Structure 1
Amino acid sequence: MDNETSVSEFLLLEFSDVRELQILHFFLFLGMLLATVTGNLLIILAVAFDRRLHTPMYFFLVNLAMQDLGFISVIIPKSMVNSLMNTRHISYFGCVVQVLSFPFFVGCDVYLLTVMAYDRYIAICDPLQYEMVMNRRACTQMVAGVWVGGLLNAVLNTSGTFSMPFCSNVVNQFFCEIPKLLKLVCSDLYLIEIGILMFSATIAIVCFIFIIITYVHIFSAVLKIPSAEGRRKAYSTCLPHLIVLSTFFLTAGFAYLKPTFNTAPQLDLVFTILYSMVPPMLNPVIYSIRNKDLKVALAKLLGLR
């Protein structure tokens, strides 16, 4: 119990104790970081400089790109520095910043993907009311609600986690992840944070169910469109969002719903990388592949024909 007041830093899980593999990890993460930053910045700039893309769908897409930039910037640079410098340390304050920022961007992603599903629902199921329902003021309020909701989620989880004493400073993850930190707590107060996590998970499940119901209505409406061209255009606006949703929820589900017993740390590492790095990196590619207007805007931004 004497150790519960002496935690001034934490030790993160290292990818390997072999120097060559540490360098390899650094360059792999560097490549993924550069790809994610480049792709999301191009999306933001393309929408900003093309007035034809100043619509609710692309407004939400820009916010998603901003969240993905924050998502990956919270945890990856510190892990890269640790591998490069052959260390495992992160300061107490640095751990607090990661615990505050990571749930913030995860929560924002869940809420924004839900709003984007509602946007597609109105656009396809009630197109005559679209401009009135999804006006600039409504879109701004929705996005503000997304960011505020993410912040409240982050503050609740951070205060719940760091209000408890720690008996160890060895985190079995490559960043300060709340479930791993709870295993270091030497007090029954960890049940408070588990309750907060359950509340956050319940909200995420409600959002997921809302999205599923929304897309049932969307695809029912699309099947009633008489022309093949109309159905193709409707699918082209919905499929990227649906693929992004599937990527995010499936990878997060594998990371948190897998059996906790007899799980190797390396397997935990793989699942965490999948849901924390793959969706932010793939989202710009997914949205640009089937979107002709966005591809034209990107080509114009890059000076391509």
Structure 2
Amino acid sequence: MGRKNQTWVSEFILLGLSNVWETQVSLFVLFLAMYLVAVLGNLLIILLIKLDSRLSTPMYFFLNVLSFVDICYTTSTVPQMLAHFLSACKSIPFHSCVLQLHISLAMGGAEFFLLGAMAYDRYVAVCHPLHYTVIMHGGLCFGLAATCLVAGFMNSLMQSVIIFQLPLCHNVINHFACEMLAVLRLACVDISFNKVMVTISGFLVVILPCFLVLFSYGRIVTAILHIRSAQGRRKAFGTCASHLTVVSMCFGTAIFTYIRPTGGSSAEQEKMVALFYAVVTPMLNPLVYSLRNKDVMSAFQKMLVKLTEIR
């Protein structure tokens, strides 16, 4: 299609999750509560790690970065979705749509790489405990975290540039946010190349970290099975259970959505999966890591005692 036939849009209309007012009000209350839990929970994790010196370890350094990424990811989409629940005009300016897609893709990609780095950290902790502090030194942890963030932003930049150079036939997005596959459906031209790029991106951002996680936990399980003490095995499994729970949620939803862009999943299914990933996962991460972690709970109780003493 020639450039003279391309359609320029100044804004997009988001169809959202429902057009029934009563349903929208109920969804607003539900997702507002979930968003607040997600943001406050992750902020609490960051605060506890900063205040408690016992949490100054590589595992909690990565958890700190993961909490920051979760806050950025959910904030990139949820506040706008909440505003649209109570608004008759569900529009978003073109440049805001580009920024939203870029930030959400970047944070999502960074999270997958971070989960891979955290799996490697657990592998070193369980399989090489005597050399853990030497291997996972501060420089390596900072370098891994920075690499995860840069890789997420580079992948997002590439996808954003390719997607928003396409000519668009209309500006109505069947989604609650400017999501990659939903925006691609607006194109007037064949998007086979874009689907290939989505698959390649999914392989690099999702499958490769997933392989790293599987390899790390394969070695971890093998090492744990060689521990003679039942108490030792439980302790070793306990250090990995929280991370493995989060990994299962994140990788499962992403593989379902992005690794098979031509797999026949409907727009409604994609919205539900994206909603789970944008709201539920960031909300559950701090709950999983705190409720299943004695060190975090101990730091939380210590902070409450200090607050009580101040009063």
Which bracket does the TM-score occupy, shorter chain normalised? Answer: over 0.9
Q: Does structure 2 retain, via aligned residues, the 8 Å contact 1:41–1:65? A: yes
The structural deviation recorded for 1:167 is 1.1
Residues 1:32 and 1:98: Cα distance change in structure 2 (over 3 Å): same
Query: Any residues of structure 2 matched to 1:114-263 within 5 Å, and which?
Result: 114-188=116-190, 190-203=191-204, 204-256=206-258, 257=260, 261=264, 263=266
Q: CA separation in 2, counterparts of 1:195 and 1:8?
A: 28
Q: CA separation in 2, counterparts of 1:6 and 1:162?
A: 11
Aligned Cα root-mean-square deviation (Å): 1.9
Query: Any residues of structure 2 matched to 1:84-99 within 5 Å, and which?
Result: 84-99=86-101
The structural deviation recorded for 1:93 is 0.9
Q: CA separation in 2, counterparts of 1:233 and 1:262?
A: 41
Residues 1:83 and 2:90 aligned together: no
SS in 1 for 2:237: helix
In the alignment, what sits opposite 1:273? Answer: 275
The structural deviation recorded for 1:262 is 7.5
Bigger shift: 49-58 or 191-200?
191-200
In the alignment, what sits opposite 1:44? Answer: 46
Query: Any residues of structure 2 matched to 1:44-63 within 5 Å, and which?
Result: 44-63=46-65
Residues 1:125 and 1:262: Cα distance change in structure 2 (over 3 Å): closer
Which amino acid in structure 1 is aligned with residue 284 of structure 2? L
Q: CA separation in 1, counterparts of 2:161 and 2:261?
A: 26
The structural deviation recorded for 1:67 is 0.5
CA deviation map 1:3-41 (0-9, x unaligned): 733311111123222212111111111011001011101
Q: CA separation in 2, counterparts of 1:141 and 1:272?
A: 29
Q: Does structure 1 retain, via aligned residues, the 8 Å contact 2:116–2:213? A: yes
The structural deviation recorded for 1:251 is 2.4
Q: Does structure 1 retain, via aligned residues, the 8 Å contact 2:116–2:212? A: yes
Q: Does structure 1 retain, via aligned residues, the 8 Å contact 2:106–2:152? A: yes
Q: CA separation in 2, counterparts of 1:116 and 1:26?
A: 34
| 2:17 paired residue among 15, 27, 30 | 15
Q: CA separation in 2, counterparts of 1:202 and 1:166?
A: 27
Identity of aligned residues (%): 40
The structural deviation recorded for 1:165 is 1.3
Q: CA separation in 2, counterparts of 1:145 and 1:258?
A: 27
Bigger shift: 67-76 or 266-275?
266-275
Residues 1:20 and 1:67: Cα distance change in structure 2 (over 3 Å): same
Q: Does structure 2 retain, via aligned residues, the 8 Å contact 1:35–1:281? A: yes
Q: CA separation in 1, counterparts of 2:74 and 2:304?
A: 24
Query: May I ask how many residue pairs the two structures share in their alignment?
Result: 303
Q: CA separation in 1, counterparts of 2:156 and 2:299?
A: 35
Gaps of 5+ in 1: none
Which amino acid in structure 1 is aligned with residue 202 of structure 2? A
The structural deviation recorded for 1:192 is 4.0
The structural deviation recorded for 1:258 is 8.6
SS in 1 for 2:173: coil
Q: Does structure 1 retain, via aligned residues, the 8 Å contact 2:195–2:261? A: no
Q: CA separation in 2, counterparts of 1:141 and 1:280?
A: 24
Bigger shift: 230-239 or 40-49?
230-239
SS in 2 for 1:230: helix
CA deviation map 1:69-89 (0-9, x unaligned): 011001111111111122221
In the alignment, what sits opposite 1:106? Answer: 108
Q: Does structure 2 retain, via aligned residues, the 8 Å contact 1:4–1:168? A: no
SS in 2 for 1:164: coil
